[in-house]
Amino acid sequence: MVAAQEARAERLLREVIAATLLARAEELGGAIHLEELGDFPLPDGTRWRLIDPGGGGIWNPSALTATLAITTSPDGPYNDREEEGGLLHYAYQGKAGSSDGKNTKMVRAFEFGLPLIRYTKVMPNWYVPTFPVYVVGNNPIVREFTLALDESIRAIPSESTMSAVEKAYATRLVRQRVHQPAFRARVMLAYERRCAICVLKHVELLDAAHIIEDANDWGDPVVTNGLSLCKIHHAAYDRQLLGISPDYVVRVNRRLLREVDGPMLKHGLQEMDGRTLHVPVKGSDQPDRDRLDQRFQGFLSA
């Protein structure tokens, strides 16, 4: 009974931490800097370290019974991998034969069914948080945990037990909850949280727009296939009211240029015709010209 009560109290604390963390991430465009995660303020006035200061993947605050957060990184030392159906295989931390160390509290998270925060590293020192994720399996033989990346798939022990419909649903869900926020965060950071067309800097009014939609073969969720656009320019771009040439010049639909309306049409759209796109300083983050050209041809046809 005592253990169950402690687990309920710890779950509530985790939900408060995660809600505050996710709200802060949204304010910043999706990602939080390592420095802020190291001294994070909560609504009650306390301050918490929410990520391993040593760069490890498992973070176990001493005040908690079980692991609070895990980190996945494309350049990490472990063979962490996602299954198509929304499950993450997460390696034990430390070498085989060593003491359980940080893995012990991961086992407790599994036993008590406590939710974890997942950090996805999108750039050096920048992390996108996802909550909740759950430890749903522990394999000490191969030294790895299995985590469900959404609460709705917690009861599914492995990809092999899913039907085709369940697998497609879980994959789409994880793309929406994990991959799309990571794409948005990368784009926002690359474009310094401003619209590439009008330079608006209110991140809450900015979208990470795909040049080529993700359903297309060229639609990878990478920065070079993305543009930071304010909502009006994103909508105009999607509806072929404006296009962007492969030499980074904004073009407005000729019919729209002839219309007479209020100041939003004039200043927000018509005056953007001929403007040069504001692109990331880093060359490897700048929009892919071939993708822009493919999209621009569709604009010209329209």
pLDDT in tens, 7-43: 789 999 999 999 999 999 999 999 999 999 999 999 9
Question: How many beta carbons lie within 10 A of that of residue 176, not counting itself?
Answer: 11
- Taking residues 206-222, what's their average pLDDT? 89
3-state secondary structure the chain: CHHHHHHHHHHHHHHHHHHHHHHHHHHCCCCEEHHHHCCEECCCCCEECCCCCCCCCEECCCCCCCCCEEEECCCCCCCCEECCCCEEEEECCCCCCCCCCCHHHHHHHHHHCCCEEEEEEEECCEEEEEEEEEEEEEECCCCEEEEECCHHHCCCCCHHHCCHHHHHHHHHHHHHHHHHHHHHHHHHHHCCCCCCCCCCCCHHHEEEEECCCCCCCCCCCCHHHEEEEEHHHHHHHHCCCEEECCCCEEEECHHHHHCCCCHHHHHHHHHHCCCECCCCCCHHHCCCHHHHHHHHHHHHHC
What is the third-level CATH fold of 2-183? PUA domain-like (2.30.280)
Query: Strand 116-123 to strand 69-72: parallel, antiparallel, or no bridges (unpaired)?
Result: parallel
**Domain residue extents for the chain:** 2-183, 193-301
To the question of pTM greater than 0.85 for the whole model, the response is: yes
Pairwise CA distance, residues 271 & 196, whole Å: 14
pLDDT band at 74 (very low <50, low <70, confident <90, very high): confident
Indicate the range of 14-18, 94-98, 134-138, 222-226 predicted with least confidence. 94-98
pLDDT tens figures, 80-102: 888 777 889 999 987 765 556 78
Whether the CA torsion 50, 51, 57, 62 is positive or negative: it is negative
Nearest to 279, CA basis, from 202, 191, 219: 191
Q: What is the end-to-end Cα distance of the chain in Å, rounded?
A: 67
Quickly tell me which residue has 């209110």 as its tokens. Answer: 202
Pairwise CA distance, residues 231 & 145, whole Å: 40
